[in-house]
Homo-oligomer: A and B are copies of this chain.
Amino acid sequence: MTDSHERQGDLDDVDHGVEDAVGATQGSAADPQQHASTHVSRRGLFAMGAGGLAVGALAGFGGTVAAQAMMPQDDGEAVDASVSHPFYGNVHQAGVQTEPQRHCVYMTFDVDPGTTATDLQSLFAMWSAGIAQLMQGKPVGLVQPPRAAAVPADTGEATDLSPNALTVTLGLGPGIFDDRFGLAHKRPTLLKKLPALPSDNLQAALSGGDLSLQACAEDPQVAYHAIRDLARIGRGTVSTRWTVMGFGRASAGANQMTPRNLMGFKDGTRNVRSDDEFRQFVWLDDADWMSGGTYQVARKIQMNIEIWDASGIGSQQDVFGRTKSEGAPLGEKKEFDTPDFAATEHGQHVIPQNAHIALAAHENNGGVKILRRSYNYTDGINQFGQLDAGLMFIAYMNDPQHFVKLQTRLGSYDQLNEYISHIGSAIFAVPPAPEAGHYLAEKLFS
C-alpha cells in the first residue's frame, strides 16, 4: 500500500509535463532515487525462506548479473510490484539483460514527413524524461492539473500502481539513417533491413518502423500506460505503425524457470544467461556512439495452434527435439541435460537432424547464440473460427547476421514451419543507456 500512496503523493511534485523535457531530464538526474538500487523481492524471499535468494533476486539488474552459477529459482509467478529498475547511469538500456517481466507492449513508429534531426533530438529527450519517470512508477506529468481547461499530461490509468519492474527500451530503425535527417554517417555498422528469409509471410502493416519501444512490466496496465503516454508525447513527430501486446513471457532469463510457448513447450532452456555470454553475443563494444548498445530483431510469428493441437505427441517432440512435460532433450532425462545430436537408435538420430533444437543449437551454428526475450500473444479468433495466436519473438544480438543465418537455416529445414508463419518483422539498433543529465541516443547528434 505504501507504494501506491507514495505514488499518489508524487503527483503533487510533478509540476511539469514532459514538454519541459531537458529540464526534467536534468532534474531527474539530481534525484537520488534514480540511482537507488531496487527492492529485493519480498514475496520471493518469503517463499524461498533462504537469504541466498537475495543475490538471485538482484541479478540481471543494471547489467550486473551477480550469480551466474545459481540454478533457475524464480518460476515467474512471484511478482513484486515494488521493483523499480534505474533508467540512468547504466551502460546498457534496461529491458535486454533484465530478467523478463510477465507482460510486454511492443510498438513501432514511423517518423512523420517534415521532421528534422532537431525534432528527433527533442523527441528522444522528451521520451527519456518520460521513461525515467515511468520506470519509477511516476506519471509523465500531472494527472489532474489544477486548471479546469488544462489537458492532463498523463493519462492516469497507472496512477495507483507501483513501478512493477517496468523497463522501456528504445530502438532506432534503418530509416533513421536514410537521407531524411543527415544522420547517414552515424549509421550503426551492422544495421540494415533484414533480407527476405525462407519462412517469410510478412504483412507490411506488421513490419518495419523507424523507431521501436518495448515496454515490459509485471503488470500489463503499467506496460500499456507507458506505451500509450510515450506515443502521445510523440504525436506530431511520429505515428504509430504496429503493436503487439504479449503475455506470459516465452523466454527464460538467467534466474527464471523456463516458461512455455503456446505450443506447450518450454522456450529458452539454452538462452543466453551469463554475463560472459551477454558480452560475447549481445553487447556492442568499441562501436563508437553505439558502444554498450545492441541490435533488436522483432518477428511476429503466428502459430497454427489448432493444427498443432491435433498432432501426435511423438511428432510434436520430434519437431522440437525435446520432451513436452520436462523439456529434456530427446534421449536425456532432464531439461538442462546437454543434447546429444550424434546419438542414434536403430540407425536413426534420437534427436532428428531437422528438429528445432538441432537446427538452432550453437554447437551446429559456429558457436553463435542470440538472446531471445519473447512473449506469447493472442489476436483472438481468425476468419475460420480458429484461435489466432503465436509468439512475439524479440531477440537481441551484437550482429544481426547471426539471426539471418539462423533463420535461413530454420526457415529452410525446420519441421516447425508446418505450424508457424512469420507475419511481422523489423530490426532496430538499441543505443546504450544515457548517463544522468543526458538522454537516449544523444551522441547520435553530436
Q: Which residues of A contact B (CB under 8 A)?
A: 1, 3-4, 8, 11, 42-43, 46-48, 73, 75, 77-79, 81, 102-103, 143-145, 147-152, 154-162, 164, 219-221, 224, 228, 231-232, 239-245, 247-248, 257, 259-265, 305-306, 309-316, 323-325, 376, 378, 380-381, 385-387, 389
Residues B148 and A260 in contact, CB atoms below 8 Å apart = no
Residues B151 and A312 in contact, CB atoms below 8 Å apart = yes
Residue of B143, B152, B241, B376 near A221 (CB, 8 A) is B376
21 contacts between A and B (CB under 8 A): A1-B48, A3-B77, A8-B325, A79-B79, A143-B325, A144-B313, A148-B313, A149-B312, A151-B311, A152-B264, A155-B262, A156-B325, A159-B325, A221-B260, A224-B378, A232-B306, A240-B381, A240-B385, A242-B380, A242-B381, A243-B380
The smallest C-beta distance from A214 to any residue of chain B, in angstroms, reads: 15
In the bound complex, CA of A47 to CA of B41 (Å): 11
Residues A265 and B156 in contact, CB atoms below 8 Å apart = yes
In the bound complex, CA of A387 to CA of B159 (Å): 20
In the bound complex, CA of A276 to CA of B407 (Å): 60
Known: A148-B312, A313-B151. A221 touches B240 (CB 8 A): no
Residue of B73, B324, B376 near A143 (CB, 8 A) is B324
The smallest C-beta distance from A254 to any residue of chain B, in angstroms, reads: 17
Residues A157 and B257 in contact, CB atoms below 8 Å apart = no
Residues B150 and A312 in contact, CB atoms below 8 Å apart = yes
In the bound complex, CA of A79 to CA of B76 (Å): 12
In the bound complex, CA of A245 to CA of B387 (Å): 12
Known: A264-B143, A325-B8. A310 touches B79 (CB 8 A): no
In the bound complex, CA of A150 to CA of B315 (Å): 10
The smallest C-beta distance from A265 to any residue of chain B, in angstroms, reads: 7
Query: A-B pairs with the 6 shortest C-beta distances?
Result: A156-B264, A148-B314, A221-B248, A77-B81, A220-B247, A43-B43
Residue of B149, B247, B316 near A314 (CB, 8 A) is B149
> Of A78, A147, A242, A387, which is in contact with the most chain B CB atoms at under 10 Å from its CB?
A387
Residues B264 and A157 in contact, CB atoms below 8 Å apart = yes
| Chain B residue nearest in CB terms to A45 | B46
